[in-house]
Structure formats: structure tokens, C-alpha cells
A = this chain, B = another copy of it.
């Protein structure tokens, strides 16, 4: 079978709803994914950092992914996170994603051992690619040193891209360091390597540098306006539109991000169960929640079409 068309535009690292007992809530998850796709997201990077993915087992993630596809969401819009600290877990979930026809996978480096070598990381990604052994695989590297502590260097990208062209498809750069994102665009975009900013704050800059979009936390609550920047980036309006989404981002990131996204969905969707985070994360305090919602409302933020 052929590879699916590459996703461009805005992807949301979909937050995962949990029930009172911390079990993943499949019904709310499917509903939120549907809302995102009709509200501006080109793709769903389920099982990202903002999804609390690393607080879930492979079996839990497989079940959620299968539920999405069973519910009729298009696999061609899915880019699940499949990188784990355990090589065998990364292989298992990547294989499952490819079999389901997902457009790609977004892979963290193994993140427990620190100070590891590029050679060790190369072997990790190479083993996954070889073991999955499927030409449909499109692997996006996930660079997020502030959380993973283990990063993906330009040298490592070069080596992987040379060995696996077509399979190594791009990167999400969540370093927060624009000079790094720009270097990725400059060095690899012409080799068919799709660069996504890890925050919409860098969306316009990334597109102007030859990147393909962004995969951003706030895509969970503000997908329409972010998509508008993507669709209008060559127009005279672009900088004004960018300033608007940056302003919203800055409100949300005053609070712990994942809990803030969930509190926003809970509030604007009138569905308090959404607030639950799985340990070790916790929900916002009442004061944090009040500050967030007050400021969002004052900015005339809305989530059109969201309902419980």
C-alpha cells in the first residue's frame, strides 16, 4: 500500500479525558477529536506530551486509537505519539499505528536515560523503523528537550534522513528556540523533511522559513484562529492574525498548560469531568481556573460548536 498524503497545517496534541477513576474516557475523547477536525485542525497528534500520553500504557493508547478509527475518524488525519522510554513499547505502538493507516507517527526519543549519545538514539530510531518494516511508515521526530531532557540534534536528523528518506518525514520542534527551528527548515526542508513548530507562537515564522505548520497545545482550544494564520500566511493580514493567536497563547500558558486546556474545555463545553488529570498531574486550583477563564472571556475567546 502507498503512503498517505502528508499532513500540513495545524495539528492538535489532543488532551486525553479521564474518568473519575483515571481510566481514559473514550467517548469524550472521540467527541473532542471530532470537534477539532471540524474546527480547523488538519491533523490530530494524539498521544503527545499534552495528551498525558506518557502517563498511559501502550494498551490504553492502542485501545483509544482503535476507538477513533472505529468511530469513523480518518486515519489519514492521525499522527499518534509512539515514542516511549522502552524500545519495545515504541515498536509496538508504531506498528499498530501503521497497521491502522495513520498518516504518521510522532516519536519522542527514549527519555529515561540522560546524556545518551547520538549513536544510541540513532540505534533506537533505526530499530523501530527496521522492526516495523513497513514502507507506509512516516516518522516525525519529536524534539522537546525542556520535558524529555533528551533532544534530537541536527546531526542525528541528517543521519536518519540519509538512511531512511521518505520514512523520516519531519519533526516537531518544541525546543522553544526559534534559531533551532529555523536551522531545521534551512537544512532539511528541501530534502522532503517537514518542520512543524511546537507552538503557534512560531507558526508564521515557520511557514515563512519553509516549514509546514505547527503542532500546538492550544490547538486543543483555539484551532480555528490558528488555522486562519496557516490559511492566510501569505496575505497582508498574516501578522495581525498571528498577533491574535499569540495573545491567546500567552493567557493560557500563565497556568500549567495541560490542566489549563482541560479547564477551558470543561468550562466552555460545560462538562466539569474534563478537568481530571491523571497523576502525577493535577487539575488547576480554583483561583488558577478563575484567573484563566476570566482572562479568556475578557479577550473574547470562544470555542464555537463545543458541547458536551
Contact = CB atoms under 8 A, between A and B. Distances in A.
Interface in A136-150: 146-150
B278 A87 contact: yes
B279 A54 contact: no
Interface of A: 22, 49, 52, 54-60, 85-89, 92, 109-114, 116-117, 119-121, 123-124, 127, 146-150, 277-282
Given A110-B279, A117-B280, 15 more contacts: A22-B87, A22-B127, A49-B113, A52-B113, A54-B85, A55-B112, A56-B88, A59-B88, A109-B280, A114-B146, A116-B280, A120-B282, A123-B280, A124-B279, A124-B280
B55 A282 contact: no
Contact of A279 (B49, B87, B277): B87
B282 A123 contact: yes
Nearest to A88: B57
27 contacts: A49-B113, A54-B85, A54-B110, A55-B86, A55-B110, A56-B87, A56-B88, A59-B88, A85-B85, A85-B112, A110-B279, A110-B280, A111-B111, A111-B112, A114-B147, A114-B149, A116-B280, A116-B281, A117-B280, A117-B282, A120-B281, A121-B279, A121-B280, A123-B279, A124-B280, A127-B279, A150-B280
A111 B148 CA distance: 9
A82 to B, nearest CB: 13
A147 B116 CA distance: 11
Contact of A113 (B92, B109, B119, B281): B281
A86 B280 contact: no
B57 A58 contact: yes
Given A127-B22, A147-B113, A147-B114, A89 B281 contact: no
A-B CB proximity, top 9 nearest: A54-B112, A120-B280, A123-B279, A124-B279, A57-B88, A116-B280, A54-B85, A110-B280, A120-B282
B147 A112 contact: yes
A216 to B, nearest CB: 18
A174 to B, nearest CB: 13
A289 to B, nearest CB: 16
Contacts of A60: 86, 88
Nearest to A123: B279
A260 to B, nearest CB: 14
A89 B280 contact: no
Nearest to A122: B279
